[in-house]
Amino acid sequence: MPSPATSVLNAPVLDARSRALHDLRISVTDRCNFRCSYCMPKEVFHKDYPYLPHSDLLSFEEITRTAQAFVALGVRKIRLTGGEPLLRKNIEVLIAQLAALRTPEGQALDITLTTNGSLLARKAQSLKDAGLQRVTVSLDGLDDAIFRQMNDVDFPVADVLAGIEAAQAAGLSSIKVNMVVKRGTNEHEIVPMARHFRGTGVTLRFIEYMDVGATNGWRMDEVLPSAQVIERLQAEFPLVALDASAPGETAQRWGYANAQGQHDVGSGEIGVISSVTQAFCGDCNRARLSTEGQLYLCLFASQGYDLRALVRSDLSDEALRQQIAAIWQGRSDRYSELRSLLPTESHATPARKRVEMSYIGG
């Protein structure tokens, strides 16, 4: 654990590359009811897989205390992830606790959640009532056979679409749908997905298939570059580039264009997240907290920092903030920028150890 920072109370903290701390992603469970091949393949996460015991998980109160420390250091957005976060019992209680937090200036936080949508239809209203503001749904295609194949538990796409409709009906705003594009599997779904969500108020984002963890058998030839995704879309729909909506935003925004070549707001927009072909390490402002309290400074990290031990000790709130600040100040991660310089993985050079995406969320 790094030495405590000297003066961090209610002050933005910069890392070793002058990147501010702004977003905190909190994994609330290591379990998921899908077995997507790029995230939690069935051959690894089988029925006898040793998930974390409940006593190892951070309690809602421990999560909230930790989140408050991050807020004092500059965090303004909290995203709940998993696994599948809606599998965490009484998740609404945690959402209400986080929604009650305030920045040093007295402002509410941006509270959002990423889900596979399988439980969203039945929980959307209670999530909204608890204080959730936005939701992102992972959906890799509309073709039911392909979707069932990709989730590998035979879950129907219609139930996910019903969840998205329920989220809209409940009043959750800025709903996003994330589609991981894997060459040879679902790239033919790019245009149908865009056609389906165009004009619905839902923002569709296409994500390059990433080399996260060591269980998904990632290969570069299965990556469809975002530039090619845009080419396919522009062949069907005129698009116009949009400015980033916030510093450190990972998605490049494109709006559907009208006859005058301007953004047709009513038709909405799409986004592409080029996590492989266009590194965005330079302004990455995200920290990730695992289910049992390990702090990771990069989605591709191989080392975490044990915050659970600190939270469960007699450490004061100020001392906890100082410890977290010291960790962030030492951060120099830029895996995506260095990816092309790393040795090619093979049987002779085994995969570089790194945390699994299913463990700390995307």
Q: What are 168-182's pLDDT values in tens digits?
A: 999 998 999 999 998
Which of 37-41, 266-270, 320-324 is predicted with the least confidence, judged by mean pLDDT?
A: 37-41
d(CA 284, CA 279): 10
Of 113, 231, 232, the residue nearest 163 (C-alpha): 113
One-letter amino acid at 327 equals I
Whether the pTM exceeds 0.75: the reply is yes
Which of 92-96, 212-216, 286-290, 322-326 is predicted with the least confidence, judged by mean pLDDT?
A: 212-216
Question: Span 80-101, mean pLDDT?
Answer: 97
Q: Cα separations (Å) of 281 from 209, 242, 285, 334? A: 17, 20, 9, 5
Query: For position 316, what pLDDT does the model report?
Result: 97
Hey, is 258 helix, strand or coil? Answer: coil
Q: How confident is the model at residue 98 (pLDDT cuts 50, 70, 90)?
A: very high
Q: 109: number of CA atoms within 13 Å, CB side?
A: 32
d(CA 287, CA 294): 11
- Cα Rg, the chain, nearest whole Å: 20
- Joined together, the tokens standing for residue 292 give 């049992």
Per DSSP, what are the bridge partners of residue 50?
none
* 314 φ, ψ (degrees, to nearest 5): -95, 20
Q: How confident is the model at residue 302 (pLDDT cuts 50, 70, 90)?
A: confident
Q: Please write the tens of the pLDDT for every residue from 226-284.
A: 999 999 999 999 999 999 887 767 889 999 999 999 999 999 999 999 877 776 688 89
d(CA 95, CA 102): 13
Hey, is 135 helix, strand or coil? Answer: strand
Pick the more confident residue, 296 or 149: 296
Beta-carbon contacts of 160 under 8 Å, excluding residues fewer than 6 positions away, are 116, 117, 118, 120, 137, 139, 147
Which CATH number describes the domain made up of 23-360?
A: 3.20.20.70
Residue 46, classified by CB atoms within 10 Å of its CB into exposed (0-12), middle (13-18) or buried (19+), is exposed
Residue 358 pLDDT > 90, yes or no? Answer: no
d(CA 145, CA 234): 26
Per DSSP, what are the bridge partners of residue 253?
271
Question: Span 85-106, mean pLDDT?
Answer: 97
Which of 32-36, 37-41, 162-166 is predicted with the least confidence, judged by mean pLDDT?
A: 37-41
Question: Span 290-296, mean pLDDT?
Answer: 96
Q: Which helix (H) or strand (E) holds 273?
A: strand 269-273
d(CA 151, CA 147): 6
Query: What dihedral angle (degrees, nearest 10) is formed by the CA atoms of 17, 336, 191, 239?
Result: 40
Query: For position 282, what pLDDT does the model report?
Result: 81
Residue 110 pLDDT > 50, yes or no? Answer: yes
